[in-house]
Structure 1
């Protein structure tokens, strides 16, 4: 199975093509340019350099959240458009579940964290053993203190991954909880892990149509609550 995967949930943007667990090509950019400008050139480049066409893909995968509202919207919209254009199914992948695959070979507790502001992180925890991941929590928004209290007595080695890992590391260290950061080349979200997670979901029959593909927000966009407020009396 060939999968084109997109990752736009945070500051960096990436795309990858996988086939049966092997990454055929990948592109990654973290230059501060907008995803709407950088994503499709990366996709075009990796397809061209592998002599593959979009129609050769068996599915289009994308990280659907949690993460940046704007980034997720760009990635999901792009995936929907690509899947529609070649009449292929789509796979919506949890950003946190894909991220856990970066550190799957560090046996112990994998704490995935994305900066959610307000002293919170978007988080999910996984147990890793011999490269096999077991989900321990749902995707959620949780305070750093709540997360520390939850795993305080866990005796497994703790590996932190994600763009919020430095926040968790600082809080855990303050509270005397031993942990380690994933290596720099594995700590951030990337499309290669999205592709591998998508393959696992596809094997479970969790393909959807382009129309059914949806973003997953743990919080409503900031504009939504503002729209619901009554207009001031003039």
Structure 2
């Protein structure tokens, strides 16, 4: 099964081609600023170099969040469009699970996170199974203040036997002194592991159940500013179907 995967969730733009679990090719643009302009050319480039057409792809996979609001919309919309037009499978993958997948060490608690500023993080914790299957989420993906996140880690760690914790993603190094207060062995992932790789998204999507393209949505994990403004203006409850958008 040929899988074309993509991530526009962060500043790193990543596109990959997988043949089942094998990463055939991956292209990355680090600190990219305009995913909407660069995504399609990168896809075309990777297909051309591997002598494939878009219609020969069996499955599309995409990071659905958390991450940049605009970036997520670009990636998810592109993957949904390809799947719908070509009648192919599409799979949405957690950005944090993809980060955790870059740490293959077993027996460690892997905390994956994206700096959300002001000591807040999009984060979740994962463990690798001995069977080599996808990282299992043990602390749900969420939008956490660092104090709340570390409390959740401490609680989970106290009930489970892990020799160490690995922090992967962005912004954790500046929390080193706070992390030390956990009184457990920990380390930070290597630089190349701290970015979202589309090849790992493809691997995670390989055996995953396909999503309905019409129902696949970004997973922001917190309200957008538009939702907050709409709620303040109307006083109405938040709704999952984006009804806060005004018709013009």
How many pairs were matched up?
227
| Bigger Cα displacement from structure 2, 210-219 vs 12-21 | 210-219
* Paired position in structure 2 for 1:187: 194
Moved over 6 A (4+): none
TM-score by length of 1: 0.89
- Aligned pair in 2 of structure 1 residues 19, 173: CA closer, same or farther (>3 Å)? same
Give the CA deviation at 1:39.
1.1
Does residue 99 (structure 1) correspond to residue 106 (structure 2)? The answer is: no
- Aligned pair in 2 of structure 1 residues 32, 156: CA closer, same or farther (>3 Å)? same
TM-score by length of 2: 0.84
Give the CA deviation at 1:226.
1.4
Give the CA deviation at 1:140.
1.1
- Aligned pair in 2 of structure 1 residues 93, 167: CA closer, same or farther (>3 Å)? farther
Name the CA distance, whole Å, in 2 between partners of 1:137 and 1:200.
22
- Aligned pair in 2 of structure 1 residues 167, 135: CA closer, same or farther (>3 Å)? same
RMSD: 2.0
Name the CA distance, whole Å, in 2 between partners of 1:40 and 1:169.
39
Name the CA distance, whole Å, in 1 between partners of 2:172 and 2:82.
32
Matched position secondary structure for 2:126: strand
Q: Do the aligned residues in 2 keep the contact of 1:152 with 1:177 (CA within 8 Å)?
A: no
In structure 2, which of residues 223, 233, 245 is the aligned counterpart of residue 230 of structure 1?
233
Give the CA deviation at 1:143.
1.5
In structure 2, which of residues 136, 161, 169 is the aligned counterpart of residue 134 of structure 1?
136
Tell me, which stretches of 5 or more residues in structure 2 are unaligned? 235-248
